[in-house]
Amino acid sequence: MTIEFTKMHGAGNDYIYVNTMKYDIPDPAAASIAWSRPHFGIGSDGLILIGKAERPEADFSMRIFNNDGSEAMMCGNGTRCVAKYLHDKGLTDKNPIRLETRSGIKVLNLHLDQEGKVEAVTVDMGAPILEDSTQFDPNSDVTQEIVNGKWSNGKSSSSLFVSMGNPHFVIFTDEDVETLPIEEYGPKLEHHPAFPQRCNIEFVQVRDDGTLRMRVWERGSGITLACGTGACATAVAAILTHHVAQRSDIRIQMDGGTLSISWDEATRHVMMTGPATIVFEGEIELP
């Protein structure tokens, strides 16, 4: 069976998008593994399925599969691309769009260019969770080595666990994140016993001009160019650890681009704004 797909990215975080209202993907985990392979497949961070919403208060749904086949709870960059896909392909004229995810319904506000196409999206990411015993074990005997100042090979840091519907461990370090061996530290921390469901790991350097430079090791995908939920977690952690003074328009600079994050003090909701881009479209057979 031949499937039509769209390759899209949000700040370099690239996924394969398939409309399951048109095509049935019986084994999305296998499809994500096969299609995400560079050289042998399309090449991506994973697969995102767009479908009908099960809950009446939502307009559409999304499911996210990492390139190792595991299913993710949420993808901030992916939600923006879903909004562009739905609007630009004429599947809806709603603005905002209410999107059902495994971590709840997200409200997507579309910003259109002069031609009426989506160029950026603001996503209401909801309120962060700072204590989540299902994803972070603060009482573990081994937790202290990463929480209280040491995270890998004796590196000093300040750090904070933040859940944005999926788990993030944000590490502020004086190391140069451009040359930090993320490929060495990321897997160790992702599989650390403190994180029963594994974890996304953000390495953050606060630069002299106050900007936040972040690199990410994503659970199930490895190093990626950007992570929307990770950018949100980083902004929240930066506020709570006093690395930034403001709560609005916090710019998180990642390998693939910059996202703007705001944390509303009244509602406690985190708002994420960033681009969404179509790379190419094509057809591929089910694995």
| 75 contact partners, CB below 8 Å, separation of at least 6 | 13, 15, 48, 62, 64, 228, 229
- The DSSP result for 265-282, as a single string, is TTT--EEEEEE-EEEEEE
Residue 233 DSSP SS3: helix
| CA 257 – CA 253 distance, rounded (Å) | 6
Token look-up 């937790």 returns 143
| Contact of 24 with 30, CB cutoff 8 Å | no
| CA 217 – CA 235 distance, rounded (Å) | 17
Catalytic one among 75, 81, 199, 232? 75
CA 36 distance to own-chain centroid: 17
81 is catalytic: no
Token look-up 């997507």 returns 108
Q: Which of 80, 86, 79 is nearest to 104 (CA)?
A: 79
199 is catalytic: no
E strand segments, 180-269:
200-206, 212-218, 222-224, 250-254, 257-263
| CA 185 – CA 202 distance, rounded (Å) | 11
As a whole number of angstroms, the longest Cα–Cα distance in the chain is 57
Within 13 Å, how many C-alpha atoms sit on residue 286's CB side?
11
Residue 60 has which token pair? 């559409």
| CA 119 – CA 104 distance, rounded (Å) | 24
Catalytic one among 81, 199, 227, 232? 227
Residue 77 has which token pair? 């960059």
Catalytic residues: 75, 227
